[in-house]
């Protein structure tokens, strides 16, 4: 939670999303896709799914880590996601 906004991870394994919710009302403010999983046709789909494991605030950004230890940075002003180096 930061400045009255709660950030949470969402997704179905095919894509990872960050959801911003107004803490006082529970109203969803926005939802941004952090990554997409490319599903291979000849493999079982559920073994390919990837979910967000960690969200951490860093100044005016949200650091995102997935199950494969890939990291992303979400600029909270621009609502843009870029790959980042895991720390």
Confidence of residue 14 (pLDDT cuts 50, 70, 90): very high
List, for residues 26-57, the tens digit of each pLDDT value: 999 999 999 999 999 899 999 999 999 999 99
Longest CA–CA span in the chain (Å) reads 46
In the prediction, which pLDDT does 1 show? 73
- CATH architecture entry for 5-84: Beta Barrel (2.40)
The secondary structure of 26-80, three-state, reads CCEEEEEEEEECCCCCCCCCCCCCCCEEEEEEECCEEEEEECCCCEEEEECCCCE
Report the alpha-carbon distance of residue 73 to residue 65 in Å, rounded. 9
Instruction: Provide the residue ranges of all domains of the chain, joining segments of one domain with +.
Output: 5-84
- pTM: predicted TM-score of the whole model, two decimal places: 0.90
- Does the pLDDT of residue 65 top 80, yes or no? yes
Q: How far apart are CA 63 and CA 86, in angstroms?
A: 9
């Amino acid at each position: 939670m930061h400045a009255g906004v709660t950030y949470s991870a969402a997704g179905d394994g095919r894509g990872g999303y960050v959801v911003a919710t107004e803490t006082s009302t529970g109203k969803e403010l926005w939802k941004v896709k952090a990554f997409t999983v490319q599903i291979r046709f000849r493999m079982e789909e559920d073994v390919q799914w990837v979910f967000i494991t960690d969200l951490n605030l860093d100044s005016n950004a949200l650091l995102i880590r997935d199950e494969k230890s890939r990291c992303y940075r979400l600029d909270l002003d621009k609502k843009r996601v870029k790959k980042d180096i895991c720390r």
